Amino acid sequence: MSINAWLLPLILFAPAVGALLLTLIPENRPDLVRRVAVLVTGISLAGALHAIFHYQTAAGGFQYEVLKPWLPQLGIQFHLGVDGIGVVLLLLHALCGFTGVLISYSIKQRVKEYYIFYLTLITGVFGVFMSLDLFCFYFFYEMAVIPMYPLIGIWGSDVKEEGRVKYSKQYATMKLTIYLTLGAVVALVGLLALYQWTGAQTFDIPTLQAMLADEPLSTAQQRWIFPLLFIGFGVIAPMWPFHSWSPMGHAAAPSAVSMLHAGVLMKLGSYAIIRIALPLLPQGAVYWLPWVASIVVMNILYGGFVALAQKDLKLIVGYSSSSHMGYVLLGIACLTPLSLTGAVMLMFGHGIMTALAFAIIGQLYDQTHTRWLPDLGGLAHQIPFIAGCGVIAAMASSGLPGFANFVSELLVFMGGWDKYPVQIVCGALGVVITSVYMLRVVRGTFFGPSKPEFEGHVHDAKTPFEKLPFIILVLALLITGSWPGPMLRLLESSTGPLVERILMNEPNTAPDSIQVHSPAKPGHASASNEHSEMN
Amino acid sequence: MDLSLLRVELCVAVWIFVLLAADVFLAPAKKEGLSWLALAGIGIALVVSLQPLPIGPAPTGLFALDGVSHYFKPLFLATAAAVILMTQAFRPQMPQHPGPFYVLLFTSVLGALILSSIQDLILLFLGLELLTFSLYIMAAYLKTDGRSVEAGMKYLILGSVSSALLVYGIALLYGAVGDTSFAAIRAFLASGELTLAAQTGILLVLAGLGFKLAAVPFQLWLPDVYEGAPAPVVAFLAVGSKMAGAVALMRLLFLALAPIQPWWSPILASLSVLTLLYGNLGALGQRNLKRLLGYSSIGHAGYLLMGFAVGTLDSARAVAFYLLAYLVSTLAVFLIVCAATDELGGDDLDHYAGLSRRSPGLAAAFFIALLSLAGVPPLAGFVGKLLVLMSAVAADRLWLAGIGAVNVAISLYYYLMVVKRMYVDAPPSPSPVRVPAASLLALGALILLILGIGICQAPFLSRINLALIF
């Protein structure tokens, strides 16, 4: 049996097995605990790298599939598989998870419990990115949300303003958990409605997709379900006006959790929309997405302006994340192959960039015990390596050429220009705002005169081991940014057919696809061929 | 008369006399052994109840040993076994004289067993009274504790009112139909007649059962009784008594009232919404764990009612699955409460501060059991909720499913507040909480079941699909 048959289960279950192993290790062996965590996330990372390098771009579709019966009475299967989009996000999560484990070496209290929750969280997110069954999807989705509560509640930190507690970590983590669960259950009702109204007695996404291509749900039904799914999953994306849990949660979480949270968890929402809502409810999507395009401009601008006003480093990056996720949602709303490719690419680029930013802030906080911008300054003198990484993260965030973020934002703007020029122009303003607050952060943190109170207390990352997570993330940003071709081709192999299939039902709009099949009947034939191959 | 139909009930009834005799003849120093004797009785009954059903014609008459009762009887007995283990763990707080307690537990289980087999209104009343009467006394069992006596008193008064309503309802129904058997009522209703007397009678019978289920507006007794009564009794109230009410309601609705489903469905649906909201919103501000669990059990009654309101075979099966998941999760919770109350110094939420530092395993089990009650995957409670919501959506009650789904998020808040106490707050003392070996074993089995039912649902669902056919 080739490795492809058990590659995804390996990636998925390595952290889960790790978490189980940790329960057996005595609490007074923190080093052993950390090593196990590094090992299992390392296995997942290796698996994810293997998956992306061996993905057959020419063949496209879902690969590395695993299909086992789970609850046959309800048509539930344990169905794993990834397409071009999934495989990229798998790599993103593996990178963030692995570097997060390394960054978590700074956690000194209750190490064992920390890693058990952390590895459970990682398992859940992996599961979401590879699930091809709605039940599996929801199952892992909720599994990823719950460990956040203890992770932030125990190891997080209160968010302070001028030395006073602005809101406690308890408040932040409860708000996060309730928001995300509320979103999830709203989406669940949508999923159940989809299941019942299709009448197919199956939760299998490819099967549903094939069935709905032949006999779509009525337009009215699609228009009902689509907002349930879009808002439900949009909460975690985080879509304005349901975003308020997110900066707060980022700010209160310990560094590694912020990294995963902003880097990967927020992408679960946009991924769910791409994987479930768009292909299964094409008419609902076409009906609602123009509204979405306008709403997400609020995401971009509102998040940006609020970030401008913040002085806590984590809050700045937190609001900036919700602003940048606006571009992702805009790319989805534009619904062209180009913009959708850009959106997924941005999910990757932004994920890595934010993970890097939170890793740096975590280091700063450990050393200086403050994240308050006015208290920092001149740190480039003491910690040149971290400062260098910080400047790179800021440049990536501002969308400078050479980073994945530049490529992907450009793709979103180009892809959407024909459809929503006004929204694109407004959205592009966000790039300017980002530059302003990022430059402010870089200047206020790293540059300026050296502050005497930090002299001798603040240490740079010196050993290769300490530098490793930063190097991995910076390399990931630079490689994908300066050489985006392979990843873009990978994504196009999945986004192209997806958009084409959605717009197939629209008689007036000829899809400006990259891989132009003819939009009418032959396209239909090729699409249904793909279905039969997938099954 | 075929006595083999009554084999489980007979086992339990005989053991009541065994326990009574043992209580009289055992030396006071050896009374500890009574709990093991009681467990042995439950064990025998459990083995008997698991015997396969005789294949034959559909049962008629007062009492039926059919798929439904065959599915639920072992669950009642398992609940009783867990409650006996809880009394062992709870011993420091129990009076010196445990004999009558076990006798009462057995009579009340007998009532529950009868309720799972009813085919007649008279037997409904009989089973319900047998179940409830014993519980009145058990709730007030800590004679020196004012709160326990108060709990017993409140339960007695409100329970009697509901019994009165039930009897009046049965009388009216009898007046309208001329018979008390479910089959006759069904035939009467199928003929298309729904007189005012019959309507009033049905409503009053539903009210009596609503009291058992703790459905709004018959739930007022519950938080006080839960807070005051001894923890093992509360566990039996929460699981055994509620499940008995649910089974009786299921039999009544599907065997007797099926023809007028469009009439009762909206009534139960609106009660379900009220019950869900009352329980889950009421629990938000609670500071006492037992009181919190009381409100949460009202919330769970809301999900049961939702399943009944949908009124399809799938929804009845969903309710059966929900009850199984609720049973394992709630029993795990109460095993921990019983074991920990004495050492923690009470059952307020704050007493659980830092439990994860004192006893990591116990706290982890509590965490899992609470999240299962909340309905989080990969745990049993999630599948139960999913099935109920699915059946609602299948019957085109999207709004009902929506309200149920939102309540999952609401309930997560108060369950997580308990988790917060255990995992975030600092412990008052570092000493671990000791749990008797037998309880620990039972707790481990329950946690494995919570995970097992949550992950490998298929065999449990097949079992239910085979058993529940109306």
Query: What residue ranges do the domains of chain B occupy?
Result: 3-467
Per CB-CB distance under 8 Å, the chain A contacts of B420 are 153, 170, 174
Summarize pLDDT for A81-104 with one digit per residue, the tens: 988 899 999 999 999 999 999 988
* Residue from B51, B55, B54 nearest B73 by CA: B51
Residue A217's CB: how many other CB atoms inside 10 A? 21
Distance CA A2, CA B301 (A): 50
∠ CA(B415), CA(B419), CA(B421), 5° rounding? 115
Residue B18's CB: how many other CB atoms inside 10 A? 15
What is the reported pLDDT for A506? 58
What token pair was written down for B451? 């995970």
Q: Point out the residue among A73, A181, A196 whose CB comes nearest to the CB of B409.
A: A181
What token pair was written down for A450? 């050296």
**Interface residue A460 vs chain B (CB under 8 A):** no
Distance CA A264, CA B368 (A): 25
Give percent above pLDDT 90 in chain A.
Answer: 17
Could you identify the residue written with the tokens 């310990």? A254
What is the reported pLDDT for B55? 61
- Closest-approach residue (CA) in chain B for A178: B409
Average pLDDT estimate for A63-75: 86
CA distances from A522 to A206, A501, B217 (A): 20, 12, 62
Average pLDDT estimate for B313-318: 91
Q: Point out the residue among A139, A185, A189 whose CB comes nearest to the CB of B378.
A: A139
> In this structure, are residues B297 and B235 in contact, taking their beta carbons and an 8 Å threshold?
no
What token pair was written down for B449? 């079941």
Average pLDDT estimate for B430-452: 90
**Interface residue B444 vs chain A (CB under 8 A):** no
What is the reported pLDDT for A369? 81
What is the reported pLDDT for A534? 39
Distance CA A19, CA A39 (A): 12
pLDDT tops 80 at residue A512: no
What token pair was written down for B133? 């009467």
Could you identify the residue written with the tokens 């299964």? A280
Q: Can you tell me whether residue A173 is helix, strand or coil?
A: helix
The lowest-confidence range among A14-18, A71-75, A94-98 is: A71-75
* Contact between chains at A153 and B423 (C-beta distance less than 8 A): yes
What token pair was written down for B8? 């489980």
What is the reported pLDDT for B145? 83
- Closest-approach residue (CA) in chain B for A69: B458
CA distances from A167 to A118, A159, A175 (A): 24, 6, 11
**Interface residue B414 vs chain A (CB under 8 A):** no
Distance CA A489, CA A512 (A): 17
Per CB-CB distance under 8 Å, the chain A contacts of B424 are 150, 153-154, 170
* Residue from B73, B140, B147 nearest B101 by CA: B140
- Closest-approach residue (CA) in chain A for B377: A139
What is the reported pLDDT for A524? 41
Distance CA A30, CA B364 (A): 19
Mutate to test the interface with B, among A13, A20, A33, A71 (most CBs of B within 10 A): A71
Contact map slice: A 295-324 vs B, CB within 8 A: none
What is the reported pLDDT for B331? 95
* Contact between chains at A174 and B413 (C-beta distance less than 8 A): yes
**Interface residue A57 vs chain B (CB under 8 A):** no
Distance CA B331, CA B334 (A): 5
Query: Which distant-in-sequence residues (6+ apart) come within 8 Å of B35 by Cβ?
Result: B84, B87, B88, B98, B102
The lowest-confidence range among A85-89, A400-404, B391-395 is: A400-404
Q: Which amino acid is at A261?
A: H
C-alpha torsion B436→B440→B443→B444, nearest 10: -170
Q: CB-side exposure of A518: number of CA atoms within 13 Å?
A: 4
Q: How many helices (H) and strands (E) does chain A have?
A: 23, 4
CA distances from B42 to B14, B39, B144 (A): 11, 5, 29
Distance CA A101, CA A33 (A): 11
What is the reported pLDDT for A26? 86
What token pair was written down for B34? 């009574």
> In this structure, are residues B235 and B334 in contact, taking their beta carbons and an 8 Å threshold?
yes
Q: Point out the residue among A113, A149, A154 whose CB comes nearest to the CB of B416.
A: A149
pLDDT tops 80 at residue B228: yes
> In this structure, are residues A81 and A62 in contact, taking their beta carbons and an 8 Å threshold?
yes
* Contact between chains at A182 and B413 (C-beta distance less than 8 A): no
pLDDT grade for A117, boundaries at 50, 70 and 90: very high
CB pairs under 8 A between A and B: 82
**Interface residue A71 vs chain B (CB under 8 A):** yes
Above 0.85 for ipTM, yes or no? yes
What is the reported pLDDT for A406? 86
> In this structure, are residues B233 and B98 in contact, taking their beta carbons and an 8 Å threshold?
no
What token pair was written down for A283? 């008419």
* Contact between chains at A192 and B412 (C-beta distance less than 8 A): no
pLDDT grade for A166, boundaries at 50, 70 and 90: confident
Q: Can you tell me whether residue A1 is helix, strand or coil?
A: coil
Distance CA B42, CA B219 (A): 30
Distance CA B350, CA B339 (A): 16
What is the reported pLDDT for B56? 58
Residues in chain A: 535
* Residue from A185, A186, A183 nearest A237 by CA: A183
pLDDT tops 90 at residue B128: yes
What is the reported pLDDT for A384? 85
Summarize pLDDT for A445-456 with one digit per residue, the tens: 888 887 777 777
Residue A233's CB: how many other CB atoms inside 10 A? 26
What is the reported pLDDT for B374? 92
Beta strands in B405-464 (DSSP E): none
Could you identify the residue written with the tokens 């958009």? A499
* Contact between chains at B408 and A185 (C-beta distance less than 8 A): yes
What is the reported pLDDT for B63? 82
Could you identify the residue written with the tokens 């004495």? B342
* Contact between chains at B382 and A185 (C-beta distance less than 8 A): no
Summarize pLDDT for B239-289 with one digit per residue, the tens: 999 999 999 999 999 989 989 999 999 999 999 999 999 999 999 989 999
> In this structure, are residues A384 and A447 in contact, taking their beta carbons and an 8 Å threshold?
no
Q: Which of A247-256, A490-499, B21-30, B152-161 has the highest mean pLDDT?
A: B152-161
> DSSP per residue over B78-133, as a string?
HHHHHHHHHHHHTGGGS-S--HHHHHHHHHHHHHHHHHTTB-BHHHHHHHHHHHHH
What token pair was written down for A220? 């009215």
What token pair was written down for A523? 């396209």
DSSP alpha helices (H): ranges in A379-484?
A: 379-382, 384-397, 404-416, 421-446, 464-482
pLDDT tops 60 at residue A500: yes
> DSSP per residue over A397-415, as a string?
HTT-TTSHHHHHHHHHHHH
User: Could you tell me the sign of the dihedral formed by the alpha carbons of A309, A313, A314, A318, in that order?
Assistant: positive
pLDDT tops 50 at residue A215: yes
What is the reported pLDDT for A519? 40
What is the reported pLDDT for A530? 40
Distance CA B254, CA B266 (A): 16
Could you identify the residue written with the tokens 């998870």? A97
Q: Which of A42-46, A379-383, A493-497 has the highest mean pLDDT?
A: A42-46
Distance CA B364, CA B355 (A): 9
Strand partners, A131: A80
Distance CA A433, CA A398 (A): 9
The pTM for the full model equals 0.91
* Residue from A122, A11, A143, A17 nearest A66 by CA: A11
**Interface residue A200 vs chain B (CB under 8 A):** no
What is the reported pLDDT for B1? 57
Distance CA A500, CA A505 (A): 9
Distance from CA of A514 to the nearest CA of B (A): 40
What is the reported pLDDT for A498? 84
The gap from C-alpha A531 to its chain's centroid, in whole angstroms, comes to 27
Q: Point out the residue among A74, A154, A178 whose CB comes nearest to the CB of B413.
A: A178
> DSSP per residue over A273-303, as a string?
IIIIIHHH-HHHHHHHHHHHHHHHHHHHHHH
Distance CA A380, CA B319 (A): 63
Could you identify the residue written with the tokens 């009343």? B125
Burial class (CB in 10 A: 0-12, 13-18, 19+), B190: exposed
**Interface residue A232 vs chain B (CB under 8 A):** no
Summarize pLDDT for A229-280 with one digit per residue, the tens: 999 998 888 888 888 888 888 888 888 888 988 889 889 999 999 988 888 8
Could you identify the residue written with the tokens 């679960």? A268
The gap from C-alpha A86 to its chain's centroid, in whole angstroms, comes to 11
pLDDT tops 90 at residue A521: no
Residues in chain B: 470
Give percent above pLDDT 70 in chain A.
Answer: 94
Per CB-CB distance under 8 Å, the chain B contacts of A185 are 405-406, 408-409
> In this structure, are residues B35 and B112 in contact, taking their beta carbons and an 8 Å threshold?
no
What is the reported pLDDT for A523? 38
